[in-house]
Chain A
Amino acid sequence: MNATESLRYFLPELFLLSGALISLGLDLFVRNKKLVGFFAVLVLLGTAVFPQVSDLAGKPLELFYGFFTLDAYTCFFRVLTVLILAATVLISISYRELSPSEEGEYYTLLLLTGFGLILMAASTNLLMIFLSVEFVSLMSYILTGFLRKSHKAKEAAMKYLLYGSAASGIMLFGMSLVFGASGSLELSIIRNLSATAPFYGVTLIALILFLVGLGFKISMAPFHMWAPDVYEAAPTPVAAFLTVAPKALGFALMMRVLSTGFLWINWKWSPLLMGLSILTMTVGNVTAIAQTNIKRLLAYSSIAQAGYILMGVCTFNETGVPGVLIYLVAYAFTNLGAFTVVIMVSNSTKSDELLSYAGLAKRAPFLAASLTVFMLSLAGIPPLAGFIGKFYVFSSAIQAGYLTLAVAAAVNSAIAAFYYFKVVRLMYLVPEETPEKIPYPLPLTLALGLLLIGTFAVGLAPSVFIKAVQTALFV
């Protein structure tokens, strides 16, 4: 489809992009920068409920000469992206450390990142894949180093940039091999390499190099080294965002790449991803036990969660693929929720150490109860969201006959339960040190409430979400 015809189907993204630019302009005139934040939330919600084009009629639309593939899958991840971003903006509005002199630009940058994330979901072409991944990476580096006064944040942003550049370079090298072998940037043409046996070797190596770049985005071991530092040092709302959105879209892109371009050598990448999945969850969980800082603990936990999600990617069967999408939704609600509590606590205690959570149940019973819910959901306890995701990926592993993987994941879940419950024990059973009342600012409380509802909703009424996931995959 040519560019002019495509514009009609591209309205939600254009709406988001104009919203970003308007918020940048708004920043000049509005004295109270919180208003820019609320405007950004409105833009994001607008993008989410933007009338989905009805004449999609089941077949994907190749917008802009195939550089933007609009299908149900793209729509699903578009809605997920903007909702995650809306939650991020909401929890940023009352974040203490953000100074008014740069708050307006912060919201603009978040909106622009949203555009990049949507591009990631819609890319079926090596050029767009590289461009969108780089876009999101650049924005992530900037957002990580956003608090200029913090030396830790600067260091983390620098590390992130160096690791990220190396990972992108390796990914580009892989892409160049595929391009050389197939003569095309389109994943659907790259698939034709399967017809000729001599390309097995080069495709496999290219795919492995490709997975380095994508694995970096989803913090898959052994490319996870940047994650704990970045998640600890970044502004907490940004950390919440980075553990959820680039990861979700990284998975979306990885599945698109594997299913469109490389499904024919799945007998090669499946065992590879299985090994990486076990490695990722083990590294994440074992290291998380020793952490004394809640942000670092959540960072390692998020690495481990990526390992569980990878289970669904590596089996790639009819339970695994929807399992990944459901897991991502459940994980988004839960992890954003956990970080929201962290922001509310650190706003008053000015500390992210685990010890400052001692006796939280007395000081702020609602916060303690919410964090308990989120921790239980991360541990995969029914009837919460995390359980549904875990249920899907575990059954996909068993269905595919990967018993080693299922056993490893079960052992890991037990290890993980230990440190999730450690936080709960601290809040309820350890006496408090600083009896301080914790305030409940409206935007944060609103976000917390919605995320709690989401966590319960996925757990209690999974059919609604499963139906959404199935339309995203099979239409």
Chain B
Amino acid sequence: MISEMQTGIQIGIYLVMALSVFAALAAVNLPNIFHAALAFIGTLLGIAGIFISLRADFLALAHILIYVGAVMTLVIFAIMLTQRLSDPNVRQHNNLSAPAFLGGLAFLTLMAKLIYTTPWPVKAAGTVPHVSVMDLGQALMTTYVFPFEVISVVLISALLGAIVIAKKDPL
């Protein structure tokens, strides 16, 4: 019974993975950039699904909120505001597409070989302790407080820079 359920879950995970790869391929190949953005949302949702299967629910939720909710909305706004980008006749390939494809394929083969031959120190799924939001919060305020604070400095610097670059000239 349990093993049947596990196979079911496994099939589900593989389906989610296949979906995200398929959506990623669509995102780079669809001629209409708006459709590509929609396909990319599919990829992001698929990745969130993988996070859930790895028992990182908070990460999955944050991923959906930030990427699907905020970043992709911005992307779609940008597409709507840009005339030329929503033109479905924009060329998708240039004369380096073929070498790039071959290079990508070679890299993929190499990675596949590496991933199969390396004895990754993986733990069985059941032994991974569940990480709650409270644990995450505590980690951010104790062990990871330094990177957390550095990120705030990065953000304020980026904000300042963005304002300077984007503001209008004084008349």
Contact = CB atoms under 8 A, between A and B. Distances in A.
A474 B157 CA distance: 35
A134 interface: yes
A454 to B, nearest CB: 29
Contacts of A2: 142
Contacts of B150: 119, 128, 131-132, 135
A65 B160 contact: no
B145 interface: yes
Nearest to B163: A105
Interface stretch (B25-33, B57-65, B112-120, B127-135): B112-120
Contacts of B153: 17, 112, 115, 135
Contacts of B165: 142, 145-146, 148
Interface string A34-47: 00000000000000
A105 B160 contact: yes
Given A112-B153, A131-B147, A131-B151, A142 B164 contact: yes
A199 B143 CA distance: 29
B81 interface: no
Interface string B141-158: 011111100110110111
Interface residues of B, number: 29
Nearest to A115: B153
A108 B160 contact: yes
B114 A201 contact: yes
Interface string A225-264: 0000000000000000000000000000000000000000
B164 A181 contact: no
Contacts of B142: 2-3, 65
Given A67-B147, A101-B170, A181-B120, A138 B154 contact: yes
B161 interface: yes
Given A101-B169, A181-B120, A139 B143 contact: no
B164 A146 contact: yes
A1 B36 CA distance: 48
11 contacts: A65-B142, A109-B164, A131-B150, A131-B154, A135-B154, A142-B161, A180-B120, A181-B118, A201-B118, A202-B114, A205-B110
Interface of B: 110-111, 114, 117-121, 142-147, 150-151, 153-154, 156-158, 160-165, 169-170
Interface of A: 2-3, 6, 17, 24, 63-65, 67-68, 101-102, 105-106, 108-109, 112-113, 115-116, 119, 127-128, 131-132, 134-135, 138-139, 142-143, 145-146, 148, 177, 180-181, 183, 196, 198-199, 201-202, 205
Given A132-B150, A134-B154, 15 more contacts: A6-B146, A67-B144, A68-B146, A101-B170, A112-B157, A115-B153, A128-B150, A131-B150, A131-B154, A142-B162, A142-B165, A180-B120, A183-B121, A199-B118, A205-B110
